[in-house]
Amino acid sequence: MKYFVLDRGDSLSRSLTGQFHALAASRGMQLSEDEPDVVLSIGGDGTMLHAFHVFKERLDSIAFVGIHTGHLGFFADWKADEIERLANLMAESGSRLQDKIVKYPLVKIELTTSFGVETFLALNEFTLKGADATLVAQLNINDSPFEMFRGDGICISTPSGSTAYNKSLGGALIHPSLEAIQIAEIASINNRVYRTIGSSLILPKHHHCDIVPKKEQKVVLTVDHLAVPHTSVLNVRSMVAERKVSFARYRPFPFWNRVREAFVGDDVK
């Protein structure tokens, strides 16, 4: 079994990386940056987002697993003091890794600018926001006009990203076994003159949404933790990606349990 570790770079996560290398070596696992079977992220959910983007070209052959060094994360769902148990389970599963894998949907974006078309994949979400003014954009669903949006921006998330930015926007939490994307508004303007739907929309696989910003607007496109300013966006098309991300689940940790632990807690009567 070949593995690679990406950590957040702070002293705790670096020391855990050192510990993991020692545990892995004594259990016959091989360190490989080029062809890992499993990528371990040590830090928080942000570290997993980083790991995903580093290895996004190899999604078909890699499974991710995360250790968190702070509070329980959504992608980083092993605690630092469980590192030895995780190393044992990783070594034991060896060639039976496929039995431990869960696959979650991603969102694909086709960004058309005056320079051409670029494709991006996001694990959590992408957003399109006005850079220094209100975003004004036509929203089309499956090539039919839906609404003219005015507001701070639009967030399009995956089911596993539904618990992240999307949740802060009042979007629904979606189980990652559902192949869907969710469109949530970021502070839309609604009054007698301007009108948007006001609810988040959930699109199934094979549907697509186009966001067509008003000409020559300064916008910022974010893809997970990455942000890129643009002045020449002609269209942003989003849909459920054909490719999925694999997570190695060495023990069951159902999505709804994670939601409860993260957002409700145990103190609630």
> Active-site residue numbers?
45
> Can you tell me the distance from the alpha carbon of 199 to that of 17, in angstroms, rounded to the nearest whole number?
43
Decide if residue 164 touches ligand NAD (CB under 6 A): yes
State the Cα–Cα distance between residues 73 and 82, nearest whole angstrom: 14
Q: What's the token pair of residue 142?
A: 């499956």
Least Å distance, CB 160 to ligand NAD, is: 5
Residue 257 interacts with ligand NAD (CB under 6 A)?
Answer: no
Q: Which is nearer to ligand NAD, 2 or 10 (CB)?
A: 10
Q: Give the 3-state secondary structure of residue 103.
A: strand
The one segment of 7-15, 42-50, 109-117, 173-181 that binds ligand NAD by CB under 6 A: 42-50
Q: What is the contact mask toward ligand NAD in residues 133 to 162, using x (rule: CB under 6 A)? A: ---------------------------xx-
44 vs 213, beta carbon nearer ligand NAD: 44
CA distances for 73 relative to 29, 39, 67, 195, 263, angstroms: 26, 16, 9, 36, 11
Phi then psi dihedrals of residue 182, to 5 deg: -125, 130
Buried-state track 216-234, b at ≥16 Cβ within 10 A, e below 16: ebbbbbbbbeeeeebeebe
d(Cα 110, Cα 239) in Å, to the nearest integer? 9
- Is 200 an interacting residue with respect to ligand NAD (CB under 6 A)? no
Q: Which two tokens stand for residue 225?
A: 């933790």
Residue with smaller CB distance to ligand NAD, 37 or 125: 125
If you write DSSP's letter for every residue of 202-257 in order, what string do you get? EEETT--EEEEEPTT--EEEEETTEEEEES-EEEEEEEEEEEEEEEE-SS---HHH
Nearer to ligand NAD, 1 or 16 (CB): 16
**By rule CB under 6 A, what string of x and - marks binding of each residue 95-124 to ligand NAD?**
-----------------------------x
Pick the binder of ligand NAD from 165, 247, 250, 255 (CB under 6 A).
Answer: 165
Given 7, 45, 185, 210, the residue binding ligand NAD (CB under 6 A): 45
**Shortest distance (Å) from residue 39 CB to ligand NAD:** 17
Applying CB under 6 A, among 13, 163, 238, 246 the residue interacting with ligand NAD is 163
Taking CA atoms, 15 is separated from 3, 44, 46, in Å, by: 17, 15, 18
Q: Does residue 224 touch ligand NAD according to CB under 6 A?
A: yes
Q: Which of 171, 213 has the CB closer to ligand NAD? A: 171
Residues near ligand NAD (CB under 6 A) are 44-46, 49, 73-74, 124-125, 160-161, 163-165, 168, 224-225
